[in-house]
Amino acid sequence: MRNLLVILIIAISMCSIISCSKNRTNTDNIDEYHFPIKPGTEEWKSFTSHDEMLQACQIPEDILKGMSTVELIETVLNYPLSKDIIAYNTPQGGINSQIKQFNGLSELLKRTDAKEKLLDKYQEINSLEGENSFKLSYLICILSQDDIISHLSENELSTLLKEGNNKLSKKQESNEPVSSNIKYTVWLMGKAMRQKNFTPFVEKIQEDKILQQFLDDGFIVDDEVIEEIELYVGKCLSAK
- Angle (CA) 99 83 63, round 5°: 50
Question: pTM of the predicted model, to two decimals?
Answer: 0.83
* Per-residue pLDDT band at 239 (split at 50, 70, 90): confident
- For the cut 50, the answer to whether the pLDDT of residue 221 exceeds it is yes
Helix (H, G, I), strand (E, B) or coil at 113: coil
DSSP helix/strand/coil, 89: coil
DSSP class per residue in 171-199? HHHTTPPP-HHHHHHHHHHHHHHHHHT-H
CA–CA separation, 169 vs 171, rounded Å? 5
C-alpha distances out from residue 137 to 146, 185, 210, Å: 17, 8, 22
Residues contacting 19, CB < 8 A, separation 6+? none
- Ramachandran region of residue 218, left (φ > 0), alpha (ψ -120 to 50) or beta? left
d(CA 53, CA 86): 17
Write down the pLDDT at residue 229.
Answer: 96
Can you count the helices (H) and strands (E) in the chain? 15, 0
pLDDT, residue 141, reads 96
- 124-180, pLDDT tens digit by residue? 987 555 567 889 999 999 999 999 999 999 999 999 999 999 988 877 666 655 567
Would you say 134 and 117 are in contact if contact means Cβ atoms under 8 Å apart?
Answer: no
Is the separation of the CB atoms in 140 and 190 below 8 Å?
no
The pLDDT score that the predictor gives to residue 216 is 96
Predicted local confidence at residue 32, as pLDDT: 85
Would you state the torsion angle of the CA atoms of residues 34, 40, 44, 47, taken in this order, to the nearest 10 degrees? 150
* Domain residue limits, the chain: 49-238
The predicted-structure confidence for 1-40, as pLDDT tens digits, reads as follows 444 433 433 333 333 333 333 333 333 444 789 999 999 9
* pLDDT for the residue 31: 78
> Tens digits of per-residue pLDDT, 85-138?
999 999 999 999 999 999 999 999 999 999 999 999 999 987 555 567 889 999
Nearest to 196 by CA among 230, 140, 159, 158: 158
The rounded distance, in Å, linking the Cα atoms of 14 and 18 is 6
pLDDT for residue 123: 93
**Gap between the Cα atoms of 32 and 74, Å rounded:** 6
